Amino acid sequence: MIAALIAELEIQKDYLKGDTLQSIYFGGGTPSVLEMKELEDIFSTIYRIHRVAPDAEITLEANPDDLSPEKLRDLKAYSPVNRLSIGIQSFSDVDLQWMNRAHSARHAQACLDDALEIGFEDLSIDLIYGSPTTTDEQWDENLHRAFSYQIPHLSCYCLTVEEGTALGSFVQKGKQPPVDEVRAARQFEHLLHSSENAGYEQYEISNFALPGRHARHNTNYWRSEPYLGVGPSAHSFDGVSRQWNIAHNTQYIKALSEKKVPFER
């Protein structure tokens, strides 16, 4: 997969017509599972074939269970990553167990403590509301725990049940309750009021930031700035047309081994 990503970067090097990169975003999965050497190989390719702004926003999506203190120190010392987007989801063990997450509430807090101590001040965290185990009281606790850390950016998503997933199957068979839409709406309204009272601006449906801390990467999408997406399922926009890569790892890797980018436009 790493070789395929690097091959696509090489093939698509002229897609952005030499524009200076203002942001780099490692997302669409759990890129924090990558070893430092693998990240370094990808970054060295990006920096070799693109101009990157000195103050570029460089984000890595991560799960708390991947961000050991050692990993955080290595990211800070040996990579250009300057922003972390951490999938906390909840500060409740009951919620996390129901969501089948690998980390605990204690681990989530320790991860935030470590990231801040090591010097990652530009943080975003994901939180989920509307799940069957998330009471109104727990949702309020999740938000105020995030506010207490002065996390500059929050992404808060309503639980959705997708067809073809394990959760979708459980709900369909009656093994899990469907999303309570009334409670989800109530928790969303509480999110709006609480975040505003805490000084956050809602600049997208699900994204909230302290003043001046909007995610530049997200914002550029809404401004219709060109961007290049690399990897399976990745979308790209050159200012005129949009294209998307095949959503199949094996077929993606096979195509790149033949120096072809498997996309539709």
Residue 85 token pair? 């987007």
The domain tally of the chain equals 2
Is there a single domain that holds both residue 125 and residue 183?
Answer: yes
End-to-end Cα distance, the chain = 23
Residue 111 token pair? 């991860």
Phi, psi of 214 (to 5 degrees): -60, 145
The model's pTM is 0.92
Is there a single domain that holds both residue 43 and residue 146?
Answer: yes
Taking a C-beta distance cutoff of 8 angstroms, is the pair 14, 262 a contact?
Answer: no
**Has residue 137 been placed in a domain?**
yes
Is there a single domain that holds both residue 232 and residue 216?
Answer: no
Is there a single domain that holds both residue 245 and residue 213?
Answer: no
Domain that includes residue 44, residue range: 20-225
Is there a single domain that holds both residue 92 and residue 8?
Answer: no
Q: What is the pLDDT of residue 178?
A: 77
**Has residue 27 been placed in a domain?**
yes
| pLDDT tens digits for range 112-132 | 999 999 999 999 999 999 999
Is there a single domain that holds both residue 135 and residue 196?
Answer: yes
Q: What is the pLDDT of residue 3?
A: 97
Q: How far apart are CA 150 and CA 126, in angstroms?
A: 14
Residues of the chain with pLDDT under 50: none
Q: What is the pLDDT of residue 39?
A: 95
Q: What is the pLDDT of residue 265?
A: 97
Is there a single domain that holds both residue 173 and residue 236?
Answer: no
Cα-based distances in Å from 26 to 112, 232, 250: 19, 13, 20
Is there a single domain that holds both residue 37 and residue 159?
Answer: yes
Residue 207 token pair? 């994204």
Is there a single domain that holds both residue 198 and residue 237?
Answer: no
**Has residue 169 been placed in a domain?**
yes
The CATH number linked to 94 is 3.80.30.20
How many beta carbons lie within 10 A of that of residue 90, not counting itself? 26
**Has residue 265 been placed in a domain?**
no
Is there a single domain that holds both residue 9 and residue 107?
Answer: no
| pLDDT tens digits for range 59-79 | 999 999 999 999 999 999 999
Q: What is the pLDDT of residue 32?
A: 87
Is there a single domain that holds both residue 238 and residue 192?
Answer: no
DSSP the chain: -HHHHHHHHHHTTTTTTTPPEEEEEE-SS-GGGS-HHHHHHHHHHHHHHS-EEEEEEEEEEE-GGG--HHHHHHHHHHS---EEEEEEE-S-HHHHHHTT-SS-HHHHHHHHHHHHHHT---EEEEEEE--TT--HHHHHHHHHHHHHTT-SEEEEEE----TTSHHHHHHHTTSSPPP-HHHHHHHHHHHHHHHHHTT-EE-SSSEEE-TT---HHHHHHHTT--B---STT-EEE-SS-EEEE-S-HHHHHHHHHTT---EE-
Taking a C-beta distance cutoff of 8 angstroms, is the pair 103, 96 a contact?
Answer: yes
Q: What is the pLDDT of residue 100?
A: 81
Q: What is the pLDDT of residue 189?
A: 98
How many beta carbons lie within 10 A of that of residue 255, not counting itself? 19
Q: How far apart are CA 148 and CA 42, in angstroms?
A: 35
Q: What is the pLDDT of residue 57?
A: 98
Is there a single domain that holds both residue 37 and residue 148?
Answer: yes
Characterize 50-83 residue by residue with b for buried, 16 or more Cβ atoms within 10 angstroms of its Cβ, and e for exposed. bebeeebbbbbbbbbbbbeeebbebbeeeeebbb
The tokens 């696509």 sit on which residue? 8
